[in-house]
Amino acid sequence: MKVSVIIPTYNCKEYIKKAIDSALSQTYKDIEIIVIDDASEDGTYELVLNEYIQEIKDGILKIYKNEKNRERSYSRNLGFEKSSGDYIFFLDADDEWKENYIQESVNEFKNFDVVYSIPRTFIDKNSKIIRISKRRYSNDINELIYSAQIAYPSATAFKREKYIYFREDYTQREDWELFLRMALKGYKINILNNNKVMIREHNKRTSRSEKFLTYTLKIYQEYKDKIPDKYLPYFLFHISETLLRYGKLKEGWKLLIKAIKLNPRILLNSRRIGSILKRGFRIRL
């Protein structure tokens, strides 16, 4: 079964080669790589053309360039339309995979629509390991989804017929919004705790921008009345800690108190307690 690896990129000349090489180095060999350059201005497109002449000639790698910047949701969707694989894997241009990531994910598609591999390894600009997360995760997949504990596109793979497109009106938090839709549609999602995806930390990551808050609140307004009652406290807690993180203390505490009233047991999680102390009280831990 063929795998399509879709890599959206914008001004990522510094890291794009490492991302592509990690895809080419996979033990699973029946793959094609689709790079969508979102009108980069730093020579990303030209670098790929020059570095992968043979792969492009052999049809293993294809690269397309948007005429203007259309944002990453559009680029991922375009990559899907240009692809031909039975399984669709996304890889952000600044992230990397361990060599058997695809193989271990493909093995799960017999019983699932979507396979997610929890990223635990975080790397720096030189691909050196910064840290390996030992965070504990609930066994309840829906709890993980509704509390935004899983969403990284680089860790997400789909059966082709189950791909439902990233929404292009979301330029951030589009990954979490996609998982919310899939959960509400009843998709069969498997979570692998196998540490095969490496996330690069650098000062250009979009999760540090004000837009992150804007689109978190967009999700809140759109989904607050759609979340199942059992998982609403987890959803509200995530929205509240995001508000607190950005200094919106009044709004954040209001939602936090509501979440706790709905399910006081969410405070049994030490990570959540730490988040409240750090963001709600501005206590350094």
pLDDT tens string, the chain, 285 residues long: the values are: 999 999 999 999 999 999 999 999 999 999 999 999 999 999 999 999 999 999 999 999 999 999 999 999 999 999 999 999 999 999 999 999 999 999 999 999 999 999 999 999 999 999 999 999 999 999 999 999 999 999 999 999 999 999 999 999 999 999 999 999 999 999 999 999 999 999 999 776 655 689 999 999 999 999 999 999 999 999 999 999 999 999 999 999 999 999 999 999 998 887 777 778 777 665 554
Residues 165 and 81 grouped into a single domain: yes
The verdict on 247 and 196 lying in the same domain is no
The domain containing residue 235 runs over which residues?
228-280
Report the pLDDT value the prediction gives residue 206, as an integer from 0 to 100.
59
- Domain membership of residue 135 (yes or no) is yes
In this structure, is residue 123 part of a structural domain? yes
Residue 114: both structure tokens together:
């979507």
Q: Is residue 194 part of a domain?
A: yes
**pLDDT confidence of residue 204:** 65
Question: Does residue 213 lie within any of the structural domains?
Answer: no
Same domain flag for 73 and 107: yes
Dihedral class, residue 167 (left if φ above 0, else alpha if ψ from -120 to 50, else beta): beta
Kindly report the backbone phi and psi dihedral angles of residue 115, in degrees, each rounded to the nearest multiple of 5, phi listed first.
Answer: -125, 130
Do 72 and 119 fall into the same domain?
A: yes
Contact 168/178 with Cβ under 8 angstroms? no
- Residue 195 sits in the same domain as residue 235: no
What CATH number is associated with residue 191?
3.90.550.10
Among 145, 175, 206, residue at a domain's last position: 206
- Domains held by the chain: number: 2
Please state the separation of Cα 269 from the chain's center in Å. 23
Give Cβ neighbours of residue 108 (< 8 Å, ≥ 6 apart). Answer: 115, 190, 192
Cβ atoms of 72 and 91 closer than 8 Å: no
Structure tokens at 260: 């706790």
The per-residue pLDDT for 205 is 64
255 is a domain residue: yes
Q: What is the pLDDT of residue 208?
A: 64
Sort strands 156-159 and 87-90 into parallel, antiparallel or unpaired: antiparallel
**Within-domain flag for 156:** yes
For residue 226, give the DSSP letter: T
Identify whether residues 19 and 52 lie together within a single domain. yes
* 251 and 156 in a common domain: no
265 shares its domain with 178: no
Q: Are residues 193 and 234 in the same domain?
A: no
